[in-house]
Amino acid sequence: MENDLLDEVRQFGAAFVDTPIDVRVEVSDRVRVSVTVGDGTREFSCNAPQGDRTEVKRLIKRFAKHSLYTALSDISGVRLPWGSLTGIRPTKLAYAYLSEGGRADGIAEYLSRTFSVRSDRAEIVQRIIETQRRALPDDLTGAVDLYIHVPFCNGRCDYCSFPSADINAKGADRLLDGYTDALIKEIGIVKRYMSDRGLRILSVYIGGGTPSVLGEEDISRLLEAVDCRGAEFTFEAGRADSLTAGKIDVMKNGGVTRICVNPQSLNDATLARMGRRHTSADFYEAYSLAASAGLSINTDIIAGLDESAEDFERTADGIAALSPDNVTVHTLSRKRASLLADTDPYCPDIERMTEYAFRRFGDYEPYYLYRQKNMAGNLENVGFCKRGTECINNITVMEELVPVFACGAGSISKRISGGVIARYASPKDVGLYIAELDERTEKKLLFFDGA
């Protein structure tokens, strides 16, 4: 339990760094938790939970974490937006509550009561569950998602933690050609497997990296291999400098229905500071190309970049004026593998920024949410959509509802059987992925067979 309790203390930033904290848990017919912070001790207790051993342990841990959070919150006077929740998706808890007979309109109250989640966040979760339940198909039997990973980008953003190769690096051209060929081969094998077993593709997502760095011909070949007309089909074109009218035509003709064009910020100075090699003008141009082609558009923005709250608000205003179908509001996460790993995560205006965005996109429906480690203010990422334009892939992946057949270097496939989730990772190294393609693909399909 120690790591979970430490995560709880870390949520309060530097407030308790030099304070001795002792947490003791005793279990009999009641669970008693005593939390000593400095010289003062607070006691908490509840009835001992019932159920199997794993479930009992889980509930005791949850109570201990919540007791610690309550003590630290009382002492510091700080009420965190997500209360005692760390390391678990809030929507997962909401679904667990529903499966135990909870009412859909009682989710917010349940999260506030059990985990001290602040009412604004608890209500978002309740609204998300409502949207998801309305948007998801009734029957997910035999449904799978197909994910295709293209780990190449035009440069590297400072906050990025994904393994992606820079297309400007020496030898990248050759690697990229070999990669597209290997990917097409893998997609063919995986699609045959799915067809032999009568699986139906619910959604396709081509992500990365920045898949739109591929040339028109490669995109065309890739889409031909996927050939999934009728399914929701997203193509990530994260960096505006990678899009052209020709590529958008190819996407449209190849069955793509949805595209992500992500400015992250509309402030050119911020973009330059973050190592993004495009300007806000590039973004507007790419956006207008995608909009003229009639594609459903998602735009990502990030709160907590090295810029002022006013800069962020101008970005939110600019995006709202475009009125895309989907907007994802991220909170900056300083991941260990990124160039920002050792920078100061404190962002005094982070709550002001996210609250502004939530208000600005108040006409949209929140439809998925996740939290990551080291996020500014311990906040969250929230996807907003206009009603009826939810990205089903974002919901099924976030809520782990259907298996994911993932192709490409560094991609992670997911098998779901009897509520148990298992993962299969392909090698991150592009050269190794190409060299071992046959053997690894065979292993992956055996993995899906449960072997």
Q: Which residues bind ligand SF4 (CB under 6 A)?
A: 153, 156-157, 160, 162, 164, 208-210, 238-239
Task: Give min distance, CB of 155 to ligand SF4, in A.
Answer: 7
Report angle CA 226, 428, 251 to the nearest 5 degrees: 25
- Give the Cα separation of 243 and 395 in Å (integer): 26
* Tokens 């399914």, located at residue: 231
**Which whole-number Å values give the CA distances from 149 to 108, 146, 158, 206, 359, in the listed order?**
36, 10, 20, 6, 34
Residue nearest to ligand SF4 (CB): 160
- Identify which of residues 90 and 238 has a Cβ nearer to ligand SF4 in the complex: 238
Q: From CA 352, how far away is CA 356, in angstroms rounded?
A: 6
Tokens 């475009």 belong to which residue? 322
Among 235, 233, 207, CA closest to 150: 207
Residue among 116 and 411 whose Cβ is closer to ligand SF4: 411
Please report how close the Cβ of residue 118 comes to ligand SF4 at its closest, in angstroms: 29
Q: Cβ closer to ligand SF4: 82 or 162? A: 162
Q: Whole-number minimum distance, CB 147 to ligand SF4, in Å?
A: 15
All residues at 6 or more sequence positions from 85 whose CB lies less than 8 Å from its CB, including other chains: 93, 115, 117, 371
> Which one, 86 or 164, has the nearer CB to ligand SF4?
164
**Residue 390 CB, nearest approach to ligand SF4 (Å):** 22
Token duo for residue 313: 């608000």
Dihedral, CA of residue 429, residue 204, residue 228 and residue 165, to nearest 10: -30
Task: Give the C-alpha separation, 7 to 437, whole Å.
Answer: 39
Q: Nearer Cβ to ligand SF4, position 186 or 241?
A: 241
How far does Cα 166 stand from its chain's mean position? 23
Smallest distance from ligand SF4 to CB 169, Å:
13
Residue 159: CB minimum distance to ligand SF4, A: 7
Nearer to ligand SF4, 118 or 335 (CB): 335
Residue 212 or 354: which CB sits closer to ligand SF4?
212
- Minimum Å distance from CB 207 to ligand SF4? 9
